[in-house]
Structure 1
Amino acid sequence: MTETRVTIAIAEGVADVRLARPDKLNALDPAMFAGIIDAIATLAAAPGLRAVVLSGEGRGFCAGLDMASMASAGSGIDLAARTHGPANDFQQVAWGWRTLAVPVIAALHGVAFGGGLQIASGADIRIAAPGTRLSVMEIKWGIVPDMAGYALWRGSVRDDALRELAYTAREFDAEEGRALGFVTRIADDPHAEAMALAQAIAGRNPHAIRAAKRLANLEGDAGGILTAESEEQAALLRTPNQIEAVMANMQKRPPRFED
């Protein structure tokens, strides 16, 4: 029987998703890749989902590739196959979080190395425990980051710093990661902080949150983004959820939104 590599628990619109290979620091083997891809697909189809928290069980978030298991599966790897829109299977485990309709918050502790850092970078927000160890590690193995890292880091991580880290595999901590753009903020209990943030997001107009994520994901010229912004706003104004947001604020009560 295949061991579960990823667990999902959904309550009140918030999914608590955990990488579940703690004995190997949640290192990525073929079963973990498949488990993450399946989890993303499950969440994309989950009714009433408002936010996702992604974390790792045990002593760390993810130590990156399990090189021994991936080497044995190497002959079956097809990097050219675009299996998930613009992404291949290996990119989907990171890119897929960015394409989910709802915000994803990664809670990091221990280590986030190589592919683990790229998976975390697919989240909208990254909250790390003090001293969490990070690395763009691929050059150590004679390869480049190829799990969507460059696409995800563009615009958030300083270019010269990314080049240095990709060329050297130098390890850095959460504090430096925050300064460079890999980490959003630091918290003593990142999972609790991420869950609290997810619950706060879940209490907002879900249609507006999804629209905000679509806008945040846009790339291109300013004119196209300005047009998309206007279109999203026009689609929200005077809808039941938008009116409910106004009324709840005016009446100083919790809102009651519909999905």
Structure 2
Amino acid sequence: MSALLSVFASLVERLADLLQPLFHASAAAAAIVLFTALVRLLVLPLSRAAARGQRARAALQPRVAELRKKYRKDPERLQKAVLELHTEEKVSPLSGCLPSLLQLPAFFLLYRLFSSSTIGGEDNGLLGHRLLAAPLGGRWADVLADGQVFGVSGFVYVALFAVVAAVATLNFLRAKRSMAESGGVGLGGGEQVPGLGAVSRAMPFMSYFTLVTVAVVPLAAALYVVTSTAWSAVERAVLYR
């Protein structure tokens, strides 16, 4: 892990050096945003596949409705029949999770990098980088403890919270509308896949949990989360239109 962190730290430093003429003291923060964009570009094919999968699942809704009517008194048989239908049509009800899952290593790498005071036995120079006045290794709790809520550091976090809240509200409204249009689980349509009902009911609220993540992780990791969240909102608007 130490060797991996060293390589990743060198990558961030090089990106920051390239961006320094444009972003000056915030070059490392800009490098993290650029790194996030590169990660999202890498998983874009999976995101497109997930969008196709959702459209395919939507196309199956009339047949799912027939199965619900046929097996309305036998929930276990209904679940089995819906799973068989998805298998037959080569549609995975969980395919949309893959893009998010594949981003987790990049997020945890950033988290670890900006939570470590030393890398490879040497001081972690990245912790000295800032976004405006906010250190990339700092947290919202540090801003509160230092009484900087109304200072520049506090403004940085307020701006991040505002972006996440706006995107979360957009995702919430879109998810509720999508579930209503498809007669999805949690809206009286019955559970299509074992265990998926609870997940689907909670899904519209999941974006708001990002606010907690931004508040507790180092600012560098929070930047990754906010950038990826905003990217997802734009991506969904384009791919799911």
TM-score by length of 2: 0.26
Q: Which is richer in strand?
A: 1
Q: Which is richer in helix?
A: 2
Larger Rg: 2
TM-score by length of 1: 0.25
